[in-house]
Amino acid sequence: MSQKLEEKMAENELHVELRKGVRKVCSRFPDLYWRELEVERAYPGEFVEALTQGGYLAALIPEEYGGSGFGITEASIILEEINRSGGNAGACHAQMYTMGTLLRHGSEEQKQKYLPRIADGSLRLQAFGVTEPNTGTDTTQLKTTAVRKGDKYVVNGQKVFISRVEHSDMMILLVRTTPLDQVKKRTEGLSVLLVDLREAVGNGLTIRPIRTMMNHATTELFIEDLEVPVENLIGEEGKGFRYILDGMNAERILIAAECIGDGRWFIERATNYANQRVVFQRPIGKNQGVQFPIARSYINIEAADLMRFRAAELFDMGQPCGAEANMAKLLAADASWEAANVTLQTHGGFGFAEEYDVERKFRETRLYQVAPISTNLILSYVAEHVLKLPRSY
């Protein structure tokens, strides 16, 4: 047997065991658990803690810092299985990829100080402060500033649609340290700060929850004269935009995996219901008008999954994967949204009833047409960077 084949078999065994392990954890949190959280618009703290204790949220942290040392492929399998079980990995997925900015660009002292505690769950790094009310995806135009005064940065600005801040201990914050009119390129002059939320809240940072149709941990941040120690600067001052971009491919791949998980959940629910629901003395699944949309959704999910694994493979090999990561996210988001619509249509009126959980998952998977990057911007990226068409924005 060749070494390559042996490695592939070992990899497959690991993936099988990972799936089993995540499913076992998720089995403790059935549909009713998520349904009750929806009623209270509450955060799934117990679920996140169970994943943490199982070591799953430390998947991408190297073993030397207390993590599992897995690649993005394994991390994506974990998140896929969470969503496939009927849960929502959005409650904790940033714990996986947000720390990548610290891992790849932080000092050894910072990594030794924070990563082991992130790995064992004693420190939560789930908040990612980038988006602003008046700039949206045009990140280089952000208005939040950080001015160095002695051994501290004084930060002022506003962020919006920042998830899990109230359930995190630390936050990665992107700020402008050099005014836009003083840099040669608009991507210059941005920096990344690691903010200790336990000290910041009430001392320059105000959190205001935003009620949304899903992801009930969304907030708006108001920052006024917040002091952040200079030692909390990640990497070099002024290079933060590149650091943030460096983690985007991982984010795209992991979100694609969540969409794959959603899509498989939808297809299973639609198929089961179509087999069980009897109208006009026959199961509705016997009708091609019901069969064909489910079958097409299944095909599209499987196709998107191939692109997910291709992007993950390139990422884990350290190869360029921007196009593949973006395409995986778009294909998976479109496929899961298609599956959501098909499942709702298959269930008819019952699809709108909370007890079937379709309407909850329907709302959750709709998010990924917009976040963390809209499908239109992915199309723009592919048009410009892959097809070499003129920049459209």
Which residue has tokens 């599209």? 300
Specify whether 251 is catalytic: yes
Fill in the amino acid letter for 195: V
Residues 6 or more apart whose CB falls under 8 angstroms from that of 49 comprise: 121
Residues 6 or more apart whose CB falls under 8 angstroms from that of 16 comprise: none
CB burial of residue 310 (10 Å; 0-12, 13-18, 19+): middle
Instruction: Please count the CA atoms within 13 angstroms of the CA of 118 that sit on its side-chain side.
Output: 34
Is 192 strand, coil or helix? strand
CB burial of residue 5 (10 Å; 0-12, 13-18, 19+): exposed
CB-CB contact of 230 with 148 (8 Å): yes
Which residue has tokens 């040392």? 69
126 Cα distance to chain centroid:
10
**Which of these, 236, 83, 226, 56, lies nearest to 156 by C-alpha position?**
226
> 180 vs 174, 176, 184, 292, CA distance in Å?
14, 8, 9, 53
Q: Could you give the CA distance from residue 393 to residue 378 in angstroms, rounded to a whole number?
A: 12
Q: Catalytic: which of 188, 220, 251, 324?
A: 251
Supply the residues annotated as catalytic: 251
